[in-house]
Amino acid sequence: MEPFNTSITIPISFTFTGGSGGGSSSDVHGIASPWMDSRIWGRLPQRLVDRIIAFLPPPAFFRARSVCKRWYGLLFSNSFLELYLQLSPLRRHWFIFFKQKNLKSYITRNNTIGGGNSGSSGSNSNRGYSEGYLFDPYEVSWYRLSFALVPPGFSPTSSSCGLIGWLSEEAGSKSLLLCNPLVGSLTPIPSTLRPRLYPSIGLIITNSSIDMVVAGDDLISPFAVKNLTAESFHIDGGGFYSIWGTTSSLPRLCSLESGRMVYVHGRFYCMNYSPFSVLAFDVAANHWSKIQAPMRRFLRSPGLVESRGSLILVAAVEKSKLNVPKSLRLWGLQPCGTTWVEIERMPQQLYVQFEEVEGVRGFDCVGHGEFIVIMVRGSDKAVLFDFCRKRWLWIPPCPFTRGGGSGGGGDELYGFAYEPRLATPVTGLLDQFALPFQSFH
């Protein structure tokens, strides 16, 4: 196999752990192991080698690409990517995090007449997002991803099927980009029809379809923002597409907090505030509805996550006038679609620690597979809950952020569920239709 020594840029930064022994091809007596005999492994058919590589997790795959020219070129090989998709490697329920910044203040500052006196915080906002931080809950390890291709003025807003959705920060019709950070691809989506500030975003991508919903934060006038309308985008392999068709009207007295939606079994869900409830959008029926939240008068920092195919509401419970201890609880929405059942509760001893760290800042949460991550706002502290092991633990701070390795003083992070993939073929559908936008190169 021809060696490949050219310097390359790998989109993931790794931390290697050295082995305890000497050369890996020798046993404890210094005798070459027959299992590592190059005369055996050198005769493996290339097709079999490709199948082995296709099962590697992303960090190991990108390390392997530095071995030789052929392995380096696998990422650009249609035959290998087809094999990769056919094998359907085990799903990896990982998370992607980004440094937090106040998007609404950034939008207001940059759209104020005569503005421009933004100070140092404005210059930080204009720098955009150059990197993200990948968290592996199985190994409790961190990696760094580059997003150098994403242009300034876009913020991460959703994730699905290995793609990160980026939303334009400028007030007005919203532009969206789909980015695969592992392969460095960037696919644009047509702009929305209605002008908005920073609406709630729903995104679900499969191997054959893309569905998106943009709801709320309608820009009615420069001095009024309302939550009145929603738009949906759909495209699939069957040839059907709908470019930002208007959905049914949102329920009355909506008070959406800008952010992402959660997709479960054909519906997008998002939180509604004052009083707390859950808004649901049925994609097939094109219909919005409202679901009452459990214990809505006593909830604090409620958030929705998807975990193992179910919708889960995570919130702190505080009954000031009743003799009930404060706690952090998880409720699951039942198949009937209107009833909640408490399924888990943070151990009281851990909640005392969590409450001390959190103070009154609140927290956000994100779920993926059997894991839920609860992040304290204004800090780099987070708790991981493992449904399978029924285990709660503090996550070590991200080592790539300011002060992340010292246990404090790091940047505030917010995240999304992320399943790393080398290929998402459905993005090719966007190039097959005469859509009104230009491609990025």
Quick: pLDDT tens for 267-292: 999 998 877 899 999 999 999 999 99
pLDDT tens, position by position, 318-345: 876 666 778 999 999 999 989 999 999 9
Check residues 91 and 162 and name the one with the higher pLDDT: 162
Residue 374: band (very low, low, confident or very high) from pLDDT cuts 50, 70, 90 = very high
Checking if the pLDDT of 123 tops 60, the result is: no
Residue 431 has pLDDT above 90, yes or no: no
Cα separation, 322 vs 325, whole angstroms: 9
Q: Which of 56-65, 115-124, 268-277 shows the lowest per-residue confidence on average (mean pLDDT)? A: 115-124
Domain boundaries, the chain: 1-13+29-90, 94-432
pLDDT for the residue numbered 121: 38
Instruction: Give the predicted TM-score (pTM) of the model.
Output: 0.81
Question: What's the whole-number average pLDDT of the chain?
Answer: 80
Superfamily designation of domain 94-432: Kelch-type beta propeller (2.120.10.80)
Mean pLDDT of 14-39: 48
pLDDT for res 165? 94
pLDDT class of 437 with cuts at 50, 70, 90: very low
Over range 131-148, report the average pLDDT. Answer: 91
Mean pLDDT lowest among 50-64, 170-184, 329-343, 397-411: 397-411
Are the C-beta atoms of 96 and 164 separated by less than 8 Å?
A: yes
Which among 67-71, 90-94, 158-162, 359-363 has the top mean pLDDT? Answer: 158-162
What HEC string does the chain produce? CCECCCCCCCCEECCCCCCCCCCCCECCCCCECHHHCHHHHCCCCHHHHHHHHHCCCHHHHHHHCCCEHHHHHHHHCHHHHHHHHHHCCCCCCEEEEEECCCHHHHHHHHCCCCCCCCHHHHHHHHCCCCEEEEEECCCCEEEEEECCCCCCCEEEEEEECCEEEEEECCCEECCEEEEECCCCEEEEECCCCCEECCCEEEEEECCCEEEEEEECCEEEECCEEECCCEEEEEEECCCCEEEEEECCCCCCCCCECCCECEEECCEEEEEECCCCEEEEEECCCCEEEEEECCCHHHEEEEEEEEECCEEEEEEEECCCCCCCCCEEEEEEECCCCCCEEEEEECCHHHHHHHHHHHCCCCEEEEEECCEEEEEECCCCCEEEEECCCCEEEECCCCCCCCCHHHCCCCCCEEEEEECCCCCCHHHHHHHHCCCCCCCCC
Looking at residue 72, what is its pLDDT?
86
pLDDT band at 102 (very low <50, low <70, confident <90, very high): low
Assess whether pLDDT exceeds 50 at residue 125: no
Q: Supply the pLDDT for residue 18.
A: 35
pLDDT of 113 above 60 = no
Highest mean pLDDT among 148-152, 367-371, 428-432: 367-371
| Model pLDDT, residue 321 | 64
Residue 45: pLDDT over 60: yes
293 has a pLDDT exceeding 80: yes
Percentage of the chain surpassing pLDDT 90?
Answer: 39
Angle, alpha carbons 58-62-68 (nearest 5°): 145
